[in-house]
Amino acid sequence: MLLPRLAPSLPAAQITAVLLTAGLLWPLGVGAQSGPAPGRVSSAQAKLPATVLSIGDGDSIAVLQGGQPLRIRLACIDAPETAQTPHGKEARAELRRRLRVGGAVTLRVQTVDRFGRTVAEVIAGTNIGLAMVESGHAFVFRRYLKQCDANAYLAAEQRASRRGAGIWQVQGGITRPWDFRRQQRSGKTSRSWGVPVDRQDLLRPLHQLLAQRLRAFEADAGAETEQPVAQVHVLPQGPDG
C-alpha cells in the first residue's frame, strides 16, 4: 500500500487526521477488540487532555488521546442527522466553528458505547455539548442524561426553544434525531440489488388487489339485489276462501 507523502514539518495531529481521512488509520474500537469493553471506563481515562483530529457531524468528533486516535460521541446531546436538511449540516458547521482541528480539548469520559465510541463531554474553554444545545443546534438526549448536569442542559434547551433558535425555528422543534433514525430503519427494511425499497411500495400491489376484489364483490352483491322480483299471479278466492 502506498502511503501519502506528508511534509516533515506537518504536526503529528494533522498527519493522523490525514491518515484517518484517507482510511489508512482507524480509530480505536473500529474493527478491533482492544480497549475497554462497552460501558466500562478506567479511572485513568475519566478526564484527560486530547487533540481534535476531525469533526464528523454535530455530535461526533475524532481526537488523539494518549497517543491513540479515538472516536468521540458528545455526551447527553443529540444533534440532527446530516440527512435532516438543513439542520444537520448547520449543526456540523456550528461544531466546526467551536472546535478546530489540532485544537486542545478535555474529555469528561462517561462510557464506551456499543459502536466502540467513547462517550464524553468535550470541554474547550466551555462545555461544547451544552453550548450546542444553547445555540439551538442539538437536543438534550434525555435517555442518556444521568451522568451530566441535567438541570443545566434542560435549562439551555428551554432558552433555545423560547428564542426559536436553530432546530426550534419550527413550532415544537424539528423531528427528533432519534425518531428520524427509527423512521429511516423502519421505512427501508428491504433491499434489492443494494437499492433501498420502501415497505409501502411492497404492500401497495396487495392493497390494490384487495381493493379490486372488494369492488367486484360489492358489484356482484348489488346486481343480485337489483334483479326484478318475479310476478306472482293471485287467483281470485272462491267461496271457501
Collect all residues with Cβ–Cβ distance below 8 Å to 93 and sequence separation of at least 6: none
Q: Is 98 a catalytic residue?
A: no
Distance CA 105, CA 110 (A): 15
Retrieve residue 109's grid coordinates. Answer: 469520559
Q: Is 7 helix (H, G, I), strand (E, B) or coil?
A: coil
Residue carrying the nine cell digits 474493527: 31
Of 71, 92, 98, 117, the catalytic one is 117
Of 81, 90, 121, 134, the catalytic one is 81
Of 71, 73, 92, 98, the catalytic one is 73
DSSP H helices, the chain, are: 12-22, 87-98, 128-134, 150-163, 177-187, 199-225
Q: Is 117 a catalytic residue?
A: yes
Retrieve residue 137's grid coordinates. Answer: 443546534
Distance CA 118, CA 107 (A): 9
Q: Is 185 a catalytic residue?
A: no
Among 179, 50, 141, smallest CA distance to 104 is for 50
Distances 195 to 113, 189, 190 between C-alpha atoms, Å: 29, 11, 9
User: How would you classify the pairing of strands 77-78 and 139-140?
Assistant: antiparallel
Q: Catalytic residue positions?
A: 73, 81, 117
